[in-house]
Chain A
Amino acid sequence: MASEATQDEGHEVELSQTQGEYIQHHLQFLTYGKHPDGHWGLAHSEEEAGDMGFMSVHVDTLGWSIVLGLLFVLSFKKAAEKASAATPTGFQNFVEWVFEFVEQNVKDTFHGTNSLIAPLALTIFCWVILMNFMDLVPVDILPWLAQTISGSHETAFRVVPTTDPNITLGMSFSVFFLIIFYSIKVKGTGGFLKELAFQPFGWKMMPFNLLIEVPTLLAKPVSLGLRLYGNLYAGELVFLLIALFGVYQLPAHFIWAAFHLLIVPLQAFIFMMLTIVYLSQACEHH
């Protein structure tokens, strides 16, 4: 097992772990919340985390998400401050390349003037790419580090934020609120409701229209969030399965990592493009 190589101290513990338990443990979040008895603290097992219910936070994924978000905004801010009409070099060049890529996509898809959508798309693209890239960090390194620091082998630690549905759905529902906001802003409340009720079959078929349009609207954030989550979760799971191969994991890991390298930017791009498309639909009159 991969963890055997990295964990000399936990040799016995790890050996006594079945393969199912190994994967189970890797899919557990470091959860902070309110225990049923009323005090706040970290959950020490999956049951404890489950008992906390809604009033709990995944410290690991949210923490990594914020760290990576800060990495994005601060590095881009630094580059943006240095940006001038002179010849760009190094990281500056890279930032401008990404910037122009996103700007071009927004221009091609969103026809209108909106100062929010382009920065929104840039943030989504870069942030999601960074979060997805955490999947390429060998699956045992950071959890082992966390366990070493906390001193407990039971400490759960997940490092890929986009394998947490809370993270992806948090983003997709933010986009959903923006869709609603711009729909109402551009078309008015009446116009927005009319679009739901009187399309595509006219006002006589209103119940039928609602039956089509309301799920369509609600499906947008759900599919947006779950698509990203599903892709990355599956990728993570395959990495975990590969980690069980023993020494043969090296070539297998390499092949899957190379394949995953395509998924990482692709999923970020899809999330960004769908956000732009949804918002451009919200801002369009029919």
Chain B
Amino acid sequence: MNINATIFGQMIAFAFFVWFCMKYVWPPLTAALAERQKKIAEGLEAADKAESDLEQAQVQVAEQLKEAKTEASGILEQANKRASQIVDEAKDQAREEGQRIIAGAQAEIEQEVNRAKEHLRGEVASIAIAGAEKILEASVDESAHAELAEKLAASL
């Protein structure tokens, strides 16, 4: 073990390196790490906030969904009601129309029947006259007996 001036050389070098480290290495590293720490903390905070925002949004979405569902079911119900109403109305109209058609038909039938009766009456009168002519074999004054035949026809 030979101790010599190397020991002073090492002390000077040591002092220099420590000074250098203290001045040029430590402060920038500390500053950078502190800044990063701050940034990370901010990031985490933002993430927390975003999470709570998301939760809130989800609650809102659920609420809106529920609202929309009730609204939709309301609309559906209303539509159903309206549809049955329309059907009922249509049924009523159809019934009315039917009755109207039936009434018209009956009236027409009655008219036809009357006309036929009238016609028949005419026919019967002429048949009766012809019959009477044949029965009497004699010339009958048509104009004298027309009244009689009319009476007969009207009684039919």
**Residue in A closest to B15 when the chains form the complex, CB atoms:** A174
The answer, yes or no, to whether A73 is at the interface (CB within 8 Å) is yes
Contact across chains for B6 and A58 when beta carbons are under 8 A apart: yes
B29 touches which of A58, A80, A123, A164 (Cβ 8 Å): A80
B10 touches which of A31, A54, A171 (Cβ 8 Å): A171
A85 touches which of B3, B10, B29, B32 (Cβ 8 Å): B32
Instruction: With both chains docked as a complex, state the minimum distance between the C-beta of B71 and any C-beta of chain A, in angstroms.
Output: 50
* B32 neighbours in A (Cβ, 8 Å): 80, 83-85
* B36 neighbours in A (Cβ, 8 Å): 84-86
Contact across chains for B22 and A66 when beta carbons are under 8 A apart: no
The answer, yes or no, to whether A96 is at the interface (CB within 8 Å) is yes
Contact across chains for B7 and A173 when beta carbons are under 8 A apart: yes
Contact across chains for B29 and A171 when beta carbons are under 8 A apart: no
Given the known interface contacts A62-B9, A80-B24, A80-B28, the answer about A123 and B17 at a Cβ–Cβ threshold of 8 Å is: yes
Contact across chains for A65 and B21 when beta carbons are under 8 A apart: no
Given the known interface contacts A77-B24, A81-B28, the answer about A170 and B10 at a Cβ–Cβ threshold of 8 Å is: yes
**Residue in B closest to A92 when the chains form the complex, CB atoms:** B32
A119 touches which of B1, B2, B21 (Cβ 8 Å): B21
**Residue in A closest to B9 when the chains form the complex, CB atoms:** A62
Interface residues on A, range: 35 or more
Given the known interface contacts A100-B33, A127-B17, the answer about A56 and B5 at a Cβ–Cβ threshold of 8 Å is: yes
Give the complex CA separation of A165 and B18 in angstroms: 20
Mostly, the B contact residues are helix
* B21 neighbours in A (Cβ, 8 Å): 73, 76, 119-120, 122-123
The answer, yes or no, to whether B25 is at the interface (CB within 8 Å) is yes
Contact across chains for A119 and B5 when beta carbons are under 8 A apart: no
Number of interface residues of B (CB under 8 A): 33
Contact across chains for A166 and B28 when beta carbons are under 8 A apart: no
Instruction: With both chains docked as a complex, state the minimum distance between the C-beta of B142 and any C-beta of chain A, in angstroms.
Output: 134
* A50 neighbours in B (Cβ, 8 Å): 2
**Residue in A closest to B22 when the chains form the complex, CB atoms:** A119
The answer, yes or no, to whether A33 is at the interface (CB within 8 Å) is yes
Contact across chains for B13 and A62 when beta carbons are under 8 A apart: yes
* B14 neighbours in A (Cβ, 8 Å): 69, 123, 170-171, 174
Instruction: With both chains docked as a complex, state the minimum distance between the C-beta of A33 and any C-beta of chain B, in angstroms.
Output: 7
* A49 neighbours in B (Cβ, 8 Å): 2
20 contacts between A and B (CB under 8 A): A53-B4, A57-B4, A57-B9, A58-B6, A62-B9, A62-B10, A69-B16, A69-B17, A77-B25, A80-B28, A83-B33, A96-B33, A116-B22, A120-B21, A120-B22, A122-B25, A166-B7, A167-B6, A171-B14, A174-B15
The 7 closest A-B pairs by CB, nearest first: A170-B10, A83-B32, A166-B6, A119-B22, A85-B35, A80-B28, A85-B36
Q: Beyond A80-B29, A169-B3: 16 further Cβ-contacts under 8 Å?
A: A33-B4, A62-B10, A73-B25, A80-B32, A81-B28, A83-B29, A96-B33, A123-B14, A166-B7, A166-B9, A167-B10, A169-B7, A170-B7, A170-B9, A171-B14, A173-B7
